[in-house]
Amino acid sequence: MASLSRELVFLILQFLDEEKFRGTLHRLEQESGFRFNMQHFEDLVNQGKWDDVERYLSGFTTLEDNRYSMKIYFEIRKQKYLEALELQEKTTALDILTKDLKVFQALNSELYEEMTGLLVLDNFRENDKLAHYGDARTARALMFLELKKLIESNPVFLDKLEFPKMHPSRLRTVVNQALNWQHKLCKRPKPVPEINTLFVDHSCDNDFPRPNPVSAIAPHATGASGQITLPILQGQQNHVVYSQNLPMSHSSYQGQPLTTSLGLQSAPQFLNLPQGPVLMPMQMSHMAQPPSLQAMQQQEQQKRVREAAFVGSGPAQIPSQALQRPAKVRKQKDAHIFGTPRKSYATEDLPTSVILTLRFTSQPTTISFHPSNVNYLLAGDVAGCVSMFDTSTTLRLWSQNMSALVENVSVNKAVWSPDGSLIGAAMSSGRVALQAVHTNSVAVLGKPVEVSAHEGQVNDLKFTTLSSEQLVVVTCGDDKLVKVWDVRSGQMLYTFEGHEDRVFCVCPHIKNSISFLLSASRDGTIKVWLYGSTNSQVDFKVDGSYCTCITYSHDGSKLFSCGRGDGSTTTLFEWDEQHGTIKQRYTNFLNSTNDRAVIDTVANRFIVTVDEHKLKFWDFNEPRMLFSVTLEEELPPSSQVCFNCNGSLLAVLGQSKFVKVLASSKDAAHLMASRKSDGREEPEHVVSVEERPLEPVQDAPPASKEVVTEIARRPKEHSFEASSSQITDRASCTSRLLTDGDGHGIRYLVYSNNGTGLLALGSNATHSFWKWEKDGSRVFDEAALWKPSPSAVMQNDRSPGSDDAVACMVISRNDSYVLSASGGKVSLFNLLTFKIMAAFMPPPPAASCMAFHLEDNNIIAIGRDDGSLLIYNVRLDDVKVQVKEHDCMITGLAYSTKHECLVSVSSDAKVCVWDIVDDKYSKKDELKLQSEEAPTETETKLTRVSCMFTASHDHLLIAQPTRLDMVSMPALESSASWTPRDSLQSTITSACLSCDSRQIFCGFRDGSMAIFNVGNLAISCVFHPNVLGEGLYCTAIASHSDSAHGSQFAAGLSNGHVLILEPRLGGMLLWSEA
């Protein structure tokens, strides 16, 4: 069968499973032989349906295929035979023996004779080999475990045990795409096309009858026995639709494609683990990588572009009014010299001539050029300060003390983040500090935040991006550990243990779509780690020396290391990644001091370092040193070197409180001519840093206006220490105020799933819908109140006396439909037309909360104000389950596919967990969360107790009027809690998780708001009531649905307006104390 036909079968299998056509599903699995459903096979075995077991198995293998298949059939027939004997059905047992088991006689006649002898026994357990046989149910379960191992080892089943990875309801999506394409070909396309059949091609020109919009999609939608069809709408209102279900995933088809252990199909070559048949790199070379990984690799390589065929971008342009520079003409000329692209990079282009000397009052300890601006140089010193210089003007742009918590510390390493928005500093105190920087890098934002990272000194620090595009910082220290921290939240993600000596260097890297990490220790060991794995994958060892630096060439093709030797043999190597051995030894590197040697590379061709008080250069492909350069001021025996992003400048760290900046001889000559034209003939420009005051910054807002951060004085282990940032006005945030002018308070708020809309439900039971373009950031410029027509309105049914009723709302996964209630009937609206599709479940009792099932979007859980819970099938208009375990109103519902459960919470903070087995709901566990102070009746009316799963479904957020809890699952235990205190003493009115589950957005009755860290419920940011406006407070809160805008949230206000906020917290560093 052709490949596309095979894939079509899988689409049909997914469709049958989603529609619960089980018999047809398993018949097609068997007849096609494409998909062996292990769960179905287990069910048949446990039920003892032996004929069905063999019939299903025959679609995939026969007894004669191989020894695995023969063993499978033998075990099944043996169990069938024993069960007949146990039931004393001797005739049936004899028939099984002579027909089913006869085929095995030739293979093992002795076993066959022994089985025949069981017929004459009253109880076959009298046979010593069967003495431990239990009952049939236990024997079937044990036999299935054996069968499963045989099936997984059988090559016949190799590609049939895992279902291909695809989006839910993929067949419907393909049909929709075809209809959308047909609709685009219509000469006179209708704004809202109607589909009456799939048997012919769609055309708006066809003169089809125009049925009633509701009845066409859902016959008898409002009747008790009618059916409601919820179609998929892929896109906007002018797209053609067809479906009976909203697209949802199904647990039985969420398996990953068949891969080897640790997913190492495309792992770096040196990760040669005996984990199974790993695909060779040549097999992977033609395969496209996921866009996000390509973007990460491109970002890694573009940090400092030094290709042999150089393509430069010049220095970052800063407005002329930004800095008051005394030599603007010289700035432009210097920038032209060092920012001009080269067509090639040869030996004569290597920087060997000193053009600038920066002298310090404190000894500099580390240097790093900006990742994109050729002239910006970062330097850290022994006094704990980091300063940035513009080498083209010799100006110090700013200086920042990186340790507010500990005095008398040194900066061991200071580096830039890939985009230049952050600076990381490794401190001698064992702490790590991060500093946010203004977009053009001419000013810092706020104060640095710190973490107690290692015992002893922190020796190295590097930024990198994990596969999920998560920015992290990697650190190592004297405590022999390597740690990985999330930059945004400050949480420690990984700890790598295994080094037996101090770790001097880390080198994160991405190769063949695999993110991994190398670390080097003082004893000469280089270890390779995979994120998420506790053990190192590969160890490299250099005998007789220790390693101080490891680095890749900038195209990622070559790995180098250097260290301390005995003064007679070199310790500068290129490594063979595949075998973990030394590939090239570069001569004349004889570092025998205790200084930590550092190497850098340029143009994917040259290596440079300081050795024996000299600058030394090597070609990648030549073991002998090219040449060395001796400077007028003696360099230390070993020191740090650093190229700028295009290789035109080289900075060298001196031992007498200076930093030398070098350029090529040609560039230096141009610079000297430029200086002569300015009346300055000195070949080398010397600047005393202590004599030059900080230049004023005009285009960057003062840090105090951007964000105020107070550093906590209490040290904490494994948590970043900064008290909550205070935002006092909207100027400190990116914000947009949305209004529809009706003045009614917001009761419920939710973002659309595609992140391009925001739906609000007011206290007058009327909905407001704002829309914008695809990019979530455009909400601040383009969000506008949207209606399909000027008179269109979505208003819920309201019962008499329901003014104070709890409102609830849930939006479908395809953003086409919304279910909503405001104390009256539950209403089903078409979000594209605002038309009501159905209204059902009139009160009392009234619906108080709702949640869509995560696998079948026709199934909805509905909590009611009398404490009852209903599971309702919208399409069939049928209540499937009705239970009651709560004594008061259910106010929150949350499904979990990971735990196969539904969680409900009531207004008295009682949490119930419901197991879901075969569409049946049974209570598994419950938890009562007690607040120190019981909420008043007014507080209860203000706040609905809500629940929400984190993205991993490992924790559950429970929000009460006077308490927040993070509840671990499935243990159902509160792992962290927070109660209003100090500056936040008001009642909680609403709370929700960010879409990436790293933050909690929370509103309070006094008009303040706060952002909490999910891990420990520590406050990372507080919004002053001035942000919302005088007398206003947050009545509903919702987080953006796209992780790319994880810090954006919307606050529904008491006056009916909606405020969308995205705080600017120093590069979005939301670190907080535990």
Instruction: Dump pLDDT digits (tens) for 14-55.
Output: 999 988 898 999 999 999 999 999 999 999 999 999 999 999
Residues 6+ apart with CB under 8 A from 326: 393
Q: At CA 268, angle to CA 423 and CA 256, rounded to 5?
A: 95
Long-range contacts made by residues 712-717, C-beta under 8 angstroms, separation at least 24? 712/405, 712/1073, 713/405, 714/1073, 715/405, 715/452, 716/452, 716/1073, 716/1074, 717/452
Please tell me the distance from the alpha carbon of residue 461 to that of residue 477, in angstroms, as a whole number.
9
* Cis peptide preceding 935, ω within 30 of 0: no
- Are 1053 and 1032 contacting, i.e. CB atoms less than 8 angstroms apart? yes
622 vs 700: which has the higher pLDDT: 622
The pLDDT of residue 714 is above 50: no
Average of pLDDT values for 417-445?
Answer: 83
Listed range (447-451, 760-764, 954-958, 976-980) with the worst mean pLDDT? 447-451
pLDDT band at 536 (very low <50, low <70, confident <90, very high): confident
The pLDDT of residue 356 is above 50: yes
80 vs 773: which has the higher pLDDT: 80
- For tokens 């008295």, the residue is 908
pLDDT band at 326 (very low <50, low <70, confident <90, very high): very low
Indicate the angle between helix axes 22-32 and 3-18, nearest 10 degrees. Answer: 160
Listed range (797-806, 816-825, 1062-1071) with the worst mean pLDDT? 1062-1071
Tokens read off for 1064: 């600017």
Q: What is the pLDDT of residue 131?
A: 83
Q: What is the pLDDT of residue 351?
A: 92
Give the bridge partners for 1032, in sequence order. none
Q: What is the pLDDT of residue 2?
A: 56
Q: What is the pLDDT of residue 892?
A: 94
Average of pLDDT values for 687-713?
Answer: 35
Tokens read off for 695: 């230049």
Sign of torsion over alpha carbons 216, 219, 223, 224: negative
- With CA atoms as reference, report the closest residue to 265 among 252, 249, 281: 281
Listed range (170-174, 834-838, 1065-1069) with the worst mean pLDDT? 1065-1069
Percent of the chain with pLDDT over 90: 34
Listed range (137-146, 206-215, 252-261, 840-849) with the worst mean pLDDT? 252-261
Which phi and psi angles does 127 have, rounded to 5°? Answer: -70, 130
Sign of torsion over alpha carbons 131, 133, 134, 135: negative
- With CA atoms as reference, report the closest residue to 780 among 420, 468, 1064: 1064
**Residue 54 CA neighbour count, 13 Å, CB half:** 14
pLDDT band at 307 (very low <50, low <70, confident <90, very high): very low
> What is the DSSP code string of 975-1016?
EEEE--BTTB-SPEEEEEE-TTSSEEEEEETTS-EEEEETTT
The pLDDT of residue 260 is above 60: no
Please tell me the distance from the alpha carbon of residue 630 to that of residue 186, in angstroms, as a whole number.
77
Q: What is the pLDDT of residue 704?
A: 29
The pLDDT of residue 445 is above 80: no
**What is the longest distance spanned by two Cα atoms in the chain?**
118
Q: What is the pLDDT of residue 951?
A: 87
Residue type, 453: A
Distance of CA 887 to the CA centre of its chain: 39
- Are 987 and 1034 contacting, i.e. CB atoms less than 8 angstroms apart? no
Distance of CA 563 to the CA centre of its chain: 36
The pLDDT of residue 417 is above 70: yes
Average of pLDDT values for 314-320?
Answer: 30
Find the radius of gyration of the CA atoms of the chain: 34
Residues 6+ apart with CB under 8 A from 925: 912, 913, 970, 972
Q: What is the pLDDT of residue 106?
A: 86
pLDDT band at 751 (very low <50, low <70, confident <90, very high): very high
Q: What is the pLDDT of residue 853?
A: 87
Average of pLDDT values for 363-380?
Answer: 92
Q: What is the pLDDT of residue 427?
A: 93
The pLDDT of residue 706 is above 80: no
> Can you list the positions of beta strands (E) in 287-362?
353-359
CA distances from 171 to 23, 182, 238, 243, 1006 (A): 19, 17, 21, 10, 51
Q: What is the pLDDT of residue 270?
A: 39
pLDDT band at 652 (very low <50, low <70, confident <90, very high): very high
Q: What is the pLDDT of residue 304?
A: 38
pLDDT band at 424 (very low <50, low <70, confident <90, very high): very high
* Strongest mean pLDDT among 667-676, 716-725, 835-844: 835-844
Q: What is the pLDDT of residue 641?
A: 93
Please tell me the distance from the alpha carbon of residue 1 to that of residue 1013, in angstroms, as a whole number.
53
- Are 926 and 885 contacting, i.e. CB atoms less than 8 angstroms apart? yes
Tokens read off for 40: 């179905």
DSSP at 346: -
Percent of the chain with pLDDT over 70: 76
Q: At CA 288, angle to CA 287 and CA 291, rounded to 5?
A: 155
Average of pLDDT values for 681-704?
Answer: 43
- Are 652 and 635 contacting, i.e. CB atoms less than 8 angstroms apart? yes
The pLDDT of residue 769 is above 90: yes
Long-range contacts made by residues 200-203, C-beta under 8 angstroms, separation at least 24? 202/240
Q: What is the pLDDT of residue 318?
A: 25
The pLDDT of residue 712 is above 60: no
Strand-pair category, 546-552 with 559-564? antiparallel
Residue type, 884: K
Please tell me the distance from the alpha carbon of residue 795 to that of residue 744, in angstroms, as a whole number.
13
- Are 657 and 359 contacting, i.e. CB atoms less than 8 angstroms apart? yes
- With CA atoms as reference, report the closest residue to 694 among 1056, 293, 395, 970: 395
Q: What is the pLDDT of residue 656?
A: 85
Q: What is the pLDDT of residue 1043?
A: 72
Average of pLDDT values for 225-231?
Answer: 34
Q: What is the pLDDT of residue 812?
A: 86
CB burial of 500-532 (b: ≥16 within 10 Å; e: otherwise) equals: eebbbbbbbbbbbbbbbbbbbbbbbbbbbbbbe
Q: What is the pLDDT of residue 693?
A: 39
Distance of CA 146 to the CA centre of its chain: 38
Listed range (63-72, 538-547, 942-951, 1030-1039) with the worst mean pLDDT? 538-547
Please tell me the distance from the alpha carbon of residue 417 to that of residue 424, in angstroms, as a whole number.
7
**Residue 767 CA neighbour count, 13 Å, CB half:** 35
Q: In this predicted model, what pLDDT tens digit does every residue of 601-651 receive, in sequence order? A: 988 899 999 988 899 999 999 999 999 999 888 888 888 999 998 889 999
- For tokens 């790598």, the residue is 496
32 vs 232: which has the higher pLDDT: 32
Q: In this predicted model, what pLDDT tens digit does every residue of 847-893 receive, in sequence order? A: 999 998 887 878 899 999 999 999 998 878 888 899 999 999 999 99
* 3-class secondary structure, 176: helix
**Residue 815 CA neighbour count, 13 Å, CB half:** 18
Strand-pair category, 826-830 with 385-390? unpaired
CA distances from 636 to 326, 529, 588 (A): 33, 33, 17
Q: What is the 3-state secondary structure (H, E, C) of 478-495?
A: CCCCEEEEECCCCCEEEE
Mean pLDDT, rounded, of the chain: 78
The pLDDT of residue 999 is above 80: yes
